[in-house]
Structure 1
Amino acid sequence: MEHLQSTLHISFAQKSEAGRKPENQDTVGARIPEGNLLTTKGIAIAIADGVSSSKAAREASQTAIAGFLSDYFATPDTWRTQQSAMRVIQSLNSSLWGRSQNSIYGEGYLTTFSALILKGDTGFIFHVGDTRVYRLRDNNLELLTRDHTQRIDKHTTHLSRAMGADPYLEVDMHSLELQRGDIFILSSDGIHEHIPAQEFKAFILQHRDNLEEIVNQAIPVALQYNSEDNLSIQALRIESLGTAAQDDAVQVLSRLPFPPVLSPGQSLDGLRIKKILHESTRSQVYLVEDEKNNLLVMKTPSELYQDDKAYIERFVMESWIGARIQSAGVVRVIPAAESRSCLYYLTEYIPGPTLTQLLKERGILSILDAVELTEGLIRGIRAFHRKETLHQDLKPDNIVISAKGPMIVDFGSCWVAGVQEIGAPFVRDRVLGTLDYSAPEYRYNGKVSAASDQFSLAVLLYEMLTGKLPFGSNYSKAMDLKSFQRLQYISAMKYNPLVPYWLDKALEKALSIYPNSRYEALSEWLQDLKRPNPEWLTPRAQPLLERYPDKVWKVLAATGWIAAAIAFFWRH
């Protein structure tokens, strides 16, 4: 994602002291990366205050901060910020809780924790306990977190939530839009519990142009107000937001020229064209041979889109996405030479027919073969979902049947959660999958999720078993929710009497018009495909209202009119 290098820049200062205590049990930390990590992960600032009633308080706060700043940046760059941070926080909490349970001295590894992640033009806050995050915008100092404390009496409060206190941690989490000039303050209770709120606000306003003064002077001010606790404070200012400028993005995207349309026998960067595998208005796909006689697949962009920056971004993203999906059921992206002369990317060559070709040659497949192929596809698509990526274009042309099983190819329609958080200086290209195979929510603007790929997989299985589509020819014409609601699922048993009732019901559920009515996990669907769900062992008589809804309602309406007419004549 070189074209979206973040321009996020901050000024930052922090300080932490023991104060009047013999030991500093607070920990502060920050990581301000450069390059791709700044784009995909952003900047992380964090503060923790070890619960002083425990001898392990200092170790707990240090573990939380060091672990978070290390592990967050090690999570996949395709993940959303919330998923990355929450996975790390929950893992650290489990570790601290486990150490508390196993301590031979009965020590509790407990700490409060607040983190601020800045990514692009968005801030993300993760908070547990009574450390705080403030934002100064214009002249308004706003507290962005809520203290997890319970008041016992006028002078005593009890911490109700902390890392390491329970096996599962409830974390306050929210996001906010950043503005240039925003100042964020993170502090431990040794600072904000003792400096009166109005005094604290006046202090921040007074020193807003000098972050070093804020962190250096806040500690003596808190001591003047008789703070007996550790004293920690962090301050940062947003100097520039992180969305790449259009001119910069365009310059990077235009760095490599489009290759010309190639013919068998021609060569490009030492790659000899053997055959044209596919041509469309959006791209060309070639079988090529490298200098070591290895067969590869080359995909090139269409010359029709040379001035379309959104198209170029999506093409560039294809190889980036593919390189991050590691699965035996997904085609492998081959790194291109750094000295390549134009824009293209390479994948391994998978000998074997596409699913389209296989169905043309064999017609419908046996139930065993169809379910086995579907199981292989599920393994492949779960590799996408683990990286918070949706394929969005599962269709027979994008499935190659290799000697080792089905392989998912083509990343041209993929949706990546982590990328969507990164602002783009142009309207992104939104390529929908093939209408016959894409889930209804794409067209009626419902919530798109992993269940959308499940729907497409179910269409593929239905076609493998019947040679037909599950809603007939009207499915591709439907464009709104009402149109989809009028469609009726056509039982696979109608076209293939060998399909058992329980398998047909598993198909029907995965093909629900509503995503929430499908399976919660692909593993659950696969289980119902491989062995009968007890609920569906015996076919039940379908009520007339489900089989013939239009006719039943017409009869009921007519009956109502007849009854009304009889009553009228009876009275008169």
Structure 2
Amino acid sequence: MGARQIELRVGWCSETGRRPRNEDYVGVCLGTATQRARQGAVAAIADGVSGAPGGRVAAELAVRGFIDFYLGERQTLGIRRAAAHAAEAINRWIHAQGRTDPERTGMATTLTAVILRDRRAHILHVGDTRLYRLRDGRLTQLTEDHVHSGPDQRHILRRAIGLEDALRADYTAEPLREGDRLVLLTDGVHGVLSSRDLTRLTSSEPTPEAASQEMVAAALSAGSHDNATALIIDVVALPPADQGELADLTAELPILPVPKPGDVVDGYRVGRQLSDGRYSALFLTEPAGKEAPLVLKFPKPTVAEDAVYRLAFVREGWVAARVRSPWLGEVVEVPPGRQTRLYTVMPYYPGQTLAQRLAAPPRVGVAEGVPLAVRLAKAVAALHRAGIIHRDLKPDNVIIDGAGGLRLIDLGVVRLPGMEDFPAEQIPGTPSYMAPELLAGAPGDERTDLYALGVTVYHLFTGAYPYGEVEPFQRPRFGALVPLQQRRPDLPTWLDLSVMKAVAAHPADRHGDVLEFALELEAGAAHPAPRPTRRRSFYDRDPVRFWKLTALVLLVLLILSLVRAG
């Protein structure tokens, strides 16, 4: 398992223009993947106050100092406090220099800094440099200019680094989306270009380098008398959304009636129906051109409580984004702003469910069944390594492609570490595959998944259940189970023993984990010689005949006792 890290592309351009020297400064620190995960990538732009000595020095010190101080702060402070501490330290130093050094009297600078970590942009800003965000073709200004409001005073700063001994900086945090373009500009660019021009120039070039050069060139051509600097950051990839973010994203999505083939939902054309379950319906999309078909999973609004569906939606998206395995189903992220109702988009895996395979001849043999069982165990193990319990393992939730491929699907009912669980009366599971402790009210753990896996493998070879089929609301008794070989005498003893251990009624009698079960199956398939085992009792070998003989003996004893009494 490995979550993706934030991935960025950066480009900038800075020109002196008609000024005698360039007093703008830009700095970016992307860091390593580990640093980006812990502290984020940092970018900043500054415009030194040109009317006072030391403007260039102030701009460079502000950018370089902010980045260095922020990265040197304790992570336990949090981004907002660490950024504030860094900016305050730089402000104190520049303000002190402006008061004590005659060559730098009144030195000051603007500063706009952005810290990009996880899926958020943390912005610290003071002055009239600006930060914009281009999203879906729309350019939005994310900072406010700290200048006087008079028509002839808009170039005079009310706030700046070094202007006062106490810093008054703005802090905001904005959610990020893949495809966002962040644009940091000095007033030598945004002061001479209209909003329409800025939007056009920001959107026109595919790379940050080309776009920044185009914007600076346009500002100078438009008559800018100041230095012109542009810093552009493209958000290429983001780590998966966390549980809270996923819950927020789905909170406003309505649960609507299930669509029909031919309907169009958010640009997806609904095709043939793949399944119609109690809680949800699955449809194949009809893609345009050479696009790959997808699967749309719609919740049914009349079966369960609204909160339960939303909880399942959050779980499925959270797990699919974080747990990577060739044996697990995936979820396709819907482009931001596109989704108008609650549903899940998944890749289409050609093939059939394991349940469909079991309903068709021929019967599953060792050569086919053991590799399927091992791959399914590895899918479950991938979840368990992440602390996730599936809780609904069964043949209906396994897709096979006939060429050895397998996908465990339906991750909406999993139990997650630290996430709110389903209401007690709606804890998921299929009774025939639920371990005794799960039916008794336990929330589920690795051993209950192992039990369900064992029942699935038992059903794979026999079409039956080790303790008999369990109906909903039935209180099953987990007495003597029916051995695998009693239903399939052609199966090897090692397979019988391994499956019987996995489905033991008591958790302590099962394997240590699903990987131990998988390794046992692999070892048995590689060395199929029978394992030495204790002699099975007459009852284990043929319980029906045992009880018939017992009844006959009791009848004979009863007759003898009656004869003696007479």
TM-score of the superposed pair, with normalisation by structure 2:
0.49
Relative contact order (C-alpha < 8 Å, sep 6+): which is higher?
1
